[in-house]
Chains A and B, each alone.
Chain A
Amino acid sequence: MTTLTNNASASTPALPATPLSRRITAKVIELGLLPILLVAMLVVFATVEPRFLSAQNLTNVGRQSVYLLLVTLGQMIVLLCAQLDLSVGSTIALTSVITALALSAEVPPVLAVLAGLGVGLVVGLVNGLVVAFWHVPSFMVTLGTTSLATGAALLLSNGAPVTGVPLSFSAFLGTGSLGGIPVPVIIAVLVALAVYGILYWTNFGRNIFAIGGNELAATVAGIRVKAVLVAAFVVCSVLTSLAGVLLTARVASGEATLGGSFVLLSIAAAVLGGTSLFGGEGRIGLVVLGVIFIGVLNNGMNLLQISSYIQQLVLGAVLISAVALDRLRARMG
């Protein structure tokens, strides 16, 4: 709570007469409830379970949130275009199987990673091209590619984990660290910064917001909407495949069952972070907070040894109420 108050006073130094409560309200209406909920949750977990705040555990939260962060950044880009990508889960699965197969065939690791990312490129192209040129709703297209990618992953792996991932590979990309910071965390932070730059500093980013805001207006303004849509889906799928490669390194095998929960969680984290499902609106900083929120929630419940069945229930309830509260806020603003 203190941080929030400080922010509010820092941004409006010229208005000392405004009551504190109103400044807080204004900030809440601007940024949403997420920061408050996150702080509240941190306080609760820290009080109930002191181990929660240990450096080791916080590193764990970061390590575990990396994969969701990558997928959510991609999902956010697609959501900003007023589209949806339901195929992220199966993209991870297929990426994992392909990467592991390549590695087990003793292909150089760099090429294996590229093969994995190639999965994202292909899935993204299919999603984007069909949505942009055939005008099929992304909901349907990405459901279709979900089935295609899952089928391919199961077929290629015979439904069994693909072994033979070299130890050096998983030791570096999975559990390795540089200067004390886990490699996946470094990668995710770099990607987040890159996505920030793309969204706010490039024409491509501007066009994404514009298309989500009003596709027809963007067309009339001379934007090549189809190209932007295809690129957005490709970026989303490639980021998802990157998460798939890192996950493969982490579990040291190729799994056709990886990634199932990422569809729900990536959309949830983006929307928790204030991204509009109707496109055109969203802030990357808040989306990152949305990912951290889900990561902390998972981690805290694990520490408290809450059963995974109950965790599912809690997660669903928290997501729905958080988004509902957020709608309420939007109406106040």
Chain B
Amino acid sequence: MTALLRVESLTKQFPGVLALDNVSLDVDAGEVHVLLGENGAGKSTLIKMLAGLYLPSSGRILLGGEEMSFAAPRDARAAGISTVFQELSLVPTLTVAENLFLGRLPSARGIVARRRLRDMARAALDRIGADIPLGAKVSSLPRSAQQLVEIAKGLLGEARLLILDEPTASLGDRESERLLELVRTLSGQGLGIIYITHRMREISQIGHRVTVLRDGRLIDTVPADTGEDRLVELMTGRALEDLYPSLPRTPGAELLTLHDVTGPELHGISLSVRAGEIVGVAGLLGSGKSSVGRTCFGLDPLHSGRIEVQGKPLKQLAPAAAITRGIVYYPSDRRHQGLALCRPLFANITLGSLRHAKASTFGLVNRRRERSVATSYVERLSIRPGDIGRRTELFSGGNQQKAVLARGLIHGTQVHIFDEPTVGIDVSAKADVYRVMSELAAAGKAVLLISSDLPEVLGMSDRVYVLHEGHVVSHLTGDEITESAVLSTFFGEASTTTPGGPSA
């Protein structure tokens, strides 16, 4: 049987960089083929060539046995390859139906045939079993629904191969579950699927085979039930003995305390973090967990309740004031909230932290000192490439995240709040982030880890609060922190443990 898609010795050379080096793989009809690799491994380059965005430097792409040459994305679409990129391509101000048929609205004499549009849109959404109001503006939909609209759009026409680029990266667990179910259904219908993910657990759930890339080269194609350790080893080229380091640490005084904190997404949250402690906050999307961090930092309004740092209430809730009082917050969305992408790396590292880096006096910048501080953090966090003058947007996601990390570390505060610190970054970068977090705790800082990545919460935390719809539904300590204990309370059922309570 011929494979649906056959990629033969595909190579892409950019000026000065060999992004993809002689990679071959094939995807069968009805197969979910997982592409695995760290950032910069060549996954994006590969799918961009399949999507018609890049021209291969050499090598062949065969679809259904026929050699393809895509000059533009529409050629790939016409051939039956549909790609859903991580950055969604929807127009937020238009409705779901209009987005689905953007550029080819059904019309009669230039007037949009609204009923036909509705029927066609309904049929498209039914195919993937999505129940989304057709007339809703895309901007009013949650991210998961937007993702479904994007997939429905991708399946219009005669798609034979669907490429999904980290479709679950910004989804919570329940939404992810539904999306995986959809992927299974679609592959059952005979569609070939290339699936990119950083979530190792999804591989065995939906994958058939896994192709691992590293540094632009094909490392191996293995069955999807290959063990996680082995996959990580293939991906990073080294055995990862311990992703979650555990430096010795002893909890001390309470540094951050929330008393009955209420806001738009929070309803009476009480929790605490002590010195030398990593405290996890888990919960589904919409549980309010990420509002906990934003409220402490003054980014979400506080309606009632009290936030205390080292026992003293935080009166002025704004980022600048919070930093002065010893809280630093690492935002989840580094591109929008963390970095000025057009600026050089060093300027992002020292953004707002020049004084803490002792690189400015009376408002004047000491440029030599600024650069040496930036360089020292680039080395400490192994940011690659180590060129501090390079524009920040040219760095990979993991290295960008480390730049945000470096800035927070320079502030030298007592309390560190991480909001989804490892979203969309590769395993080695994750390991670096975890190392920094446990070094902080070992040095007697208080670390609050807000995350949708359950293994990370379980692996890093000394205590875990589980949130549901703005309430703390369980509080787990030590051996109680297990996957089943956390999951059992995810949907709101209170566990046997007493909910809430600021102290352990």
Interface of A toward B, CB cutoff 8 Å: 200-207, 209-210, 212-214, 216-224, 276, 280-281
Tell me the chain B residues, 269-304 only, with Cβ under 8 Å from chain A.
297, 299
Bound together, the chains give a CA A202 to CA B362 distance in angstroms of: 9
Q: How many A-B residue pairs have CB under 8 A?
A: 81
25 sampled A-B residue pairs with Cβ under 8 A: A201-B364, A201-B367, A202-B363, A202-B364, A202-B365, A203-B365, A206-B347, A209-B343, A213-B340, A214-B336, A214-B341, A216-B336, A216-B337, A217-B336, A217-B337, A217-B340, A220-B319, A220-B338, A221-B319, A221-B352, A222-B320, A222-B411, A223-B320, A223-B351, A280-B342
Query: For the complex, is B353 an interface residue (Cβ under 8 Å from A)?
Result: yes
Query: For the complex, is B331 an interface residue (Cβ under 8 Å from A)?
Result: yes
Within the complex, the shortest CB–CB distance from B14 to chain A, in Å, comes to 14
Within the complex, the shortest CB–CB distance from A30 to chain B, in Å, comes to 13
Query: For the complex, is B196 an interface residue (Cβ under 8 Å from A)?
Result: no
A residues near B347, Cβ cutoff 8 Å: 206, 209-210
Bound together, the chains give a CA A222 to CA B331 distance in angstroms of: 12
A206-B347, A221-B319, A223-B352 known; A213 vs B342 contact (CB < 8 Å): yes
Query: For the complex, is B47 an interface residue (Cβ under 8 Å from A)?
Result: no
B residues near A224, Cβ cutoff 8 Å: 320
CB-contact partner of B338 in A203, A212, A217, A276, under 8 A = A217
A residues near B342, Cβ cutoff 8 Å: 213, 276, 280-281
Contact A220 B337 (CB under 8 A): yes
CB-contact partner of A221 in B351, B360, B363, under 8 A = B351
CB-contact partner of B352 in A200, A201, A212, A222, under 8 A = A222
Contact digits for B324-348, partner A, Cβ 8 Å, 1 yes 0 no:
0000010100001111111100011
Q: Which residue of A lies closest to B355 (CB)?
A: A203
CB-contact partner of B340 in A202, A203, A205, A210, under 8 A = A210
A201-B364, A203-B355, A220-B329 known; A213 vs B341 contact (CB < 8 Å): yes
A217-B336, A221-B319 known; A280 vs B343 contact (CB < 8 Å): yes
Query: For the complex, is B12 an interface residue (Cβ under 8 Å from A)?
Result: no
Query: For the complex, is B323 an interface residue (Cβ under 8 Å from A)?
Result: yes
B residues near A223, Cβ cutoff 8 Å: 320, 351-352
Within the complex, the shortest CB–CB distance from B390 to chain A, in Å, comes to 14
Bound together, the chains give a CA A216 to CA B299 distance in angstroms of: 10
Query: For the complex, is B354 an interface residue (Cβ under 8 Å from A)?
Result: yes
Contact B351 A217 (CB under 8 A): yes
A residues near B354, Cβ cutoff 8 Å: 203, 206
Central interface residue in B337, B342, B352, B360, by most chain A CB within 10 Å: B352
A residues near B320, Cβ cutoff 8 Å: 222-224
Bound together, the chains give a CA A224 to CA B316 distance in angstroms of: 13
Bound together, the chains give a CA A332 to CA B361 distance in angstroms of: 40
Query: For the complex, is B430 an interface residue (Cβ under 8 Å from A)?
Result: no
Bound together, the chains give a CA A203 to CA B367 distance in angstroms of: 11
B residues near A201, Cβ cutoff 8 Å: 364-365, 367
Within the complex, the shortest CB–CB distance from B74 to chain A, in Å, comes to 21
Bound together, the chains give a CA A203 to CA B363 distance in angstroms of: 5
Query: For the complex, is B445 an interface residue (Cβ under 8 Å from A)?
Result: no
Bound together, the chains give a CA A8 to CA B219 distance in angstroms of: 42
A residues near B43, Cβ cutoff 8 Å: none
Bound together, the chains give a CA A53 to CA B342 distance in angstroms of: 40
Central interface residue in A219, A221, A224, A281, by most chain B CB within 10 Å: A221
Bound together, the chains give a CA A253 to CA B343 distance in angstroms of: 45
Contact B319 A210 (CB under 8 A): no
Contact A222 B319 (CB under 8 A): yes
Contact A218 B340 (CB under 8 A): yes
Q: Which residue of B lies closest to A223 (CB)?
A: B352
Within the complex, the shortest CB–CB distance from B314 to chain A, in Å, comes to 14
Bound together, the chains give a CA A280 to CA B393 distance in angstroms of: 13
Q: Which residue of A lies closest to B320 (CB)?
A: A222
Bound together, the chains give a CA A302 to CA B282 distance in angstroms of: 71
Query: For the complex, is B475 an interface residue (Cβ under 8 Å from A)?
Result: no
A-B residue pairs, 7 tightest by C-beta: A213-B340, A221-B352, A222-B323, A214-B340, A222-B352, A221-B351, A222-B320
A residues near B468, Cβ cutoff 8 Å: none
Query: For the complex, is B416 an interface residue (Cβ under 8 Å from A)?
Result: no
Contact B407 A221 (CB under 8 A): yes
Central interface residue in B340, B360, B367, B411, by most chain A CB within 10 Å: B340
Q: Which residue of B lies closest to A215 (CB)?
A: B340
Bound together, the chains give a CA A221 to CA B340 distance in angstroms of: 11
Beyond A216-B337, A219-B319, A220-B319, 13 additional pairs, beta carbon < 8 A: A201-B364, A203-B360, A204-B363, A206-B351, A209-B340, A210-B340, A210-B352, A213-B341, A213-B342, A214-B336, A221-B407, A223-B352, A276-B342
Q: Which residue of A lies closest to B350 (CB)?
A: A206
Within the complex, the shortest CB–CB distance from A197 to chain B, in Å, comes to 9
A residues near B322, Cβ cutoff 8 Å: 222
B residues near A212, Cβ cutoff 8 Å: 340
Bound together, the chains give a CA A280 to CA B340 distance in angstroms of: 8
A residues near B353, Cβ cutoff 8 Å: 221-222
Contact B352 A218 (CB under 8 A): yes
Q: Which residue of B lies closest to A209 (CB)?
A: B343
Contact A218 B351 (CB under 8 A): yes
Bound together, the chains give a CA A130 to CA B79 distance in angstroms of: 53
B residues near A216, Cβ cutoff 8 Å: 336-337
Q: Which residue of B lies closest to A227 (CB)?
A: B320
Bound together, the chains give a CA A68 to CA B67 distance in angstroms of: 60
Bound together, the chains give a CA A224 to CA B351 distance in angstroms of: 12
A residues near B351, Cβ cutoff 8 Å: 206, 210, 217-218, 221, 223
A residues near B341, Cβ cutoff 8 Å: 213-214
Contact A210 B343 (CB under 8 A): yes
Bound together, the chains give a CA A202 to CA B364 distance in angstroms of: 4
Within the complex, the shortest CB–CB distance from A280 to chain B, in Å, comes to 5
Q: Which residue of B lies closest to A280 (CB)?
A: B342
Bound together, the chains give a CA A217 to CA B340 distance in angstroms of: 7
Bound together, the chains give a CA A69 to CA B207 distance in angstroms of: 63
Bound together, the chains give a CA A203 to CA B43 distance in angstroms of: 40
Bound together, the chains give a CA A291 to CA B348 distance in angstroms of: 30
Within the complex, the shortest CB–CB distance from A124 to chain B, in Å, comes to 19
B residues near A214, Cβ cutoff 8 Å: 336, 339-341
A residues near B363, Cβ cutoff 8 Å: 202-204
A204-B363, A210-B351 known; A220 vs B331 contact (CB < 8 Å): yes
B residues near A204, Cβ cutoff 8 Å: 363
Contact B365 A220 (CB under 8 A): no
Central interface residue in A201, A207, A220, by most chain B CB within 10 Å: A220
Bound together, the chains give a CA A209 to CA B337 distance in angstroms of: 15
Within the complex, the shortest CB–CB distance from B420 to chain A, in Å, comes to 14
Bound together, the chains give a CA A277 to CA B134 distance in angstroms of: 36
Bound together, the chains give a CA A298 to CA B298 distance in angstroms of: 52
